[in-house]
Amino acid sequence: MMDWTDAHCRYLHRLLSRHALLYTEMVTTGALLHGDVPRHLRFNAEEHPVALQLGGSEPADLAACAKLGQDWGYDEININCGCPSERVQRGAFGACLMNEAPLVADCVKAMVDAVDVPVTVKHRIGIDKTESYDFVRDFVGTVADAGCQTFIVHARNAWLKGLSPKENREIPPLRYELVHQLKKDFPALTISINGGITTEDQIATQLQQLDGVMVGREAYHNPWFLAGWDAAFFGAAPVEATRESVEEQMVAYMERMAVEQGASWYSIARHMLGLRHGLPGARRWRQVWSDHRLKTTPPREVMALAHVRYGFDESKSA
């Protein structure tokens, strides 16, 4: 989700669910230790609970960055052991770390010693075409012994050669049964599942055997999907919102960010282009909010243009 789940995206998602745990895009240790820390770690207070996802493979660097994350107020620090991109592999982190469970354990131990918030691991079920359950079982066991109690498992192998990141999300087969087996073998651990989950029924089915479900692409492309989660999965009152009211709150946020950070509404609006996913006229609505010719137009006028020109009303957006 790099370049996707930034603070603006997470602000939108928090409008739709008060209780879902939100994750940042992966931030590398190098970017924090040698770059612009506020740019990478700044977030809105409304986003809580929110987890910082780190990419790296040096225990000392990860510990220092975990401490930075805690100091900035993040509720959880997560290390990514699942990203298969070649750029990440060149940095010797992401999914290739699954081949080095003792190193991941050292990283986790250093992070656990550095912070008081939970340290979690996101990973795959295997590497390349090796489909042995023993591989992921031993990985989880080794890392758990170092102090990690929560694992988010993408139920696909990561093929490190021959597939693009997009193909790695689609071609390696989903094997949910391996994640279920992890929970049976490690009942004291918190095991969540990720990969190919696009409906509330699928989430409910997985929660019968597991502790949590992570939803990535579907939540981004169809953010209204989150609107039913508080009532369905957290035993809370449903979010009292319509697509119209969420759009209005995002416009107010755009205005605030222009003042506080000099942010263009255009860079924020891209995250809400799926808000009317599946509704008649959604494509025309997206065209207005993604029209670069309107970049200098105040966002409230852009919203009015979308509504007036294409005739949206409350009954269409509920």
Asked if 62 and 90 sit in the same domain, the reply is yes
pLDDT at 152: 98
Amino acid identity at 265: W
Q: Which of 9, 65, 81, 83 is catalytic?
A: 83
- The number of domains in the chain is 2
Strands 190-194 and 150-158: what pairing?
parallel
Structural contact between residues 19 and 234, judged by C-beta atoms closer than 8 angstroms: yes
Asked if 176 and 194 sit in the same domain, the reply is yes
Asked if 265 and 119 sit in the same domain, the reply is no
Asked if 34 and 15 sit in the same domain, the reply is yes
Asked if 162 and 282 sit in the same domain, the reply is no
Domain holding 71: CATH number? 3.20.20.70
pLDDT at 140: 98
Whether 63 is covered by a domain: the verdict is yes
Asked if 18 and 73 sit in the same domain, the reply is yes
Whether 107 is covered by a domain: the verdict is yes
Structural contact between residues 52 and 24, judged by C-beta atoms closer than 8 angstroms: yes
Whether 62 is covered by a domain: the verdict is yes
Whether 110 is covered by a domain: the verdict is yes
Structural contact between residues 189 and 143, judged by C-beta atoms closer than 8 angstroms: no
List C-alpha distances in Å: 205 to 180, 190, 293: 12, 17, 45
Asked if 275 and 167 sit in the same domain, the reply is no
Instruction: Walk along the chain (318 residues) and give the pLDDT tens digit of each residue.
Output: 667 899 999 999 999 999 999 999 999 999 999 999 999 999 999 999 999 999 999 999 999 999 999 999 999 999 999 877 666 555 566 788 999 999 999 999 999 999 999 999 999 999 988 789 999 999 999 999 999 999 999 999 988 777 777 787 778 899 999 999 999 999 999 999 999 999 999 999 999 999 999 999 999 999 999 999 999 999 999 888 999 999 999 999 999 999 999 999 999 999 999 999 989 889 999 999 999 999 999 999 999 998 876 665 544 444
pLDDT at 90: 55
Asked if 159 and 288 sit in the same domain, the reply is no
Q: Which residues are paired to 123 by β-bridges?
A: 81, 153
Asked if 247 and 228 sit in the same domain, the reply is no
pLDDT at 103: 96
Asked if 286 and 194 sit in the same domain, the reply is no
Strands 190-194 and 76-81: what pairing?
unpaired
Strands 119-127 and 150-158: what pairing?
parallel
Phi, psi of 52 (to 5 degrees): -95, 125
Domain span at residue 294?
Answer: 243-317
Residue 83 is among the residues annotated as catalytic for this protein: yes
CA distance 177 to 281: 40
Structural contact between residues 47 and 78, judged by C-beta atoms closer than 8 angstroms: no
pLDDT at 128: 86
Asked if 228 and 251 sit in the same domain, the reply is no
Asked if 276 and 215 sit in the same domain, the reply is no
Whether 238 is covered by a domain: the verdict is no
Mapped onto helix, strand or coil, the DSSP state of residue 136 is helix
Whether 2 is covered by a domain: the verdict is no
